[in-house]
């Protein structure tokens, strides 16, 4: 609860809070991306990766807000988002490879 500008859209978040938010997102999404590479159903993994890509976009937006303030938080947030994007990209590639392999196996079995 409480008043203030914290919940208002467009109200800038302090850089330290932005950096903390990006850091939490990176940890959570990196873990989820790692779990998704173990998912046996590639369609499920791809759907989840798409959701994670949305999180990456939002984290990047927050990182851009932080970078306008400059300082150590800006560099940390930018590096974190790059790491996050890499983890999600790896999860997508893994899911697509499994899906492609499964599709190939199904095609061979159908022949």
pLDDT by residue, tens only, the chain of 111 residues: 444 444 455 666 676 776 677 777 777 777 777 777 776 777 787 888 888 888 778 878 877 777 776 777 777 777 877 877 887 888 788 778 878 887 888 787 887
For residue 9, is it within any domain? no
In a domain? residue 7: no
8 inside domain: no
Inside any domain, residue 6: no
Residue 38 domain flag: yes
Q: Are 81 and 28 in contact (CB under 8 A)?
A: no
Assigned domain for 57 exists: yes
Does the residue 41 lie in any domain?
yes
Residue ranges making up the domain that contains 101: 15-110
- Report helix angle 71-110 to 15-36, nearest 10: 20
Per-residue pLDDT at 83: 78
Residue 2, domain member (yes or no):
no
Q: Which pTM was predicted?
A: 0.57
Q: Is the distance from CB of 45 to CB of 97 less than 8 angstroms?
A: no
The total number of structural domains in the chain stands at: 1
Q: How far apart are CA 92 and CA 101, in angstroms?
A: 14
With contact defined as beta carbons under 8 Å apart, do 15 and 73 qualify? yes
- Beta-carbon count within 10 A of 16 CB: 13
């Amino acid at each position: 609860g409480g008043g203030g500008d914290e919940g208002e859209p467009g109200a800038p978040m302090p850089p330290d809070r932005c950096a903390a938010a990006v850091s939490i997102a990176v940890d959570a999404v990196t873990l989820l991306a790692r779990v998704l590479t173990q998912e046996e159903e590639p369609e499920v993994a791809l759907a989840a990766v798409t959701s994670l890509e949305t999180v990456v976009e939002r984290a990047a937006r927050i990182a851009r807000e932080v970078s306008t303030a400059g300082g150590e938080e800006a560099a940390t947030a930018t590096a974190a988002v790059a790491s996050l994007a890499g983890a999600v990209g790896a999860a997508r590639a893994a899911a697509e490879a499994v899906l492609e392999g499964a599709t190939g196996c199904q095609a061979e079995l159908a022949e």
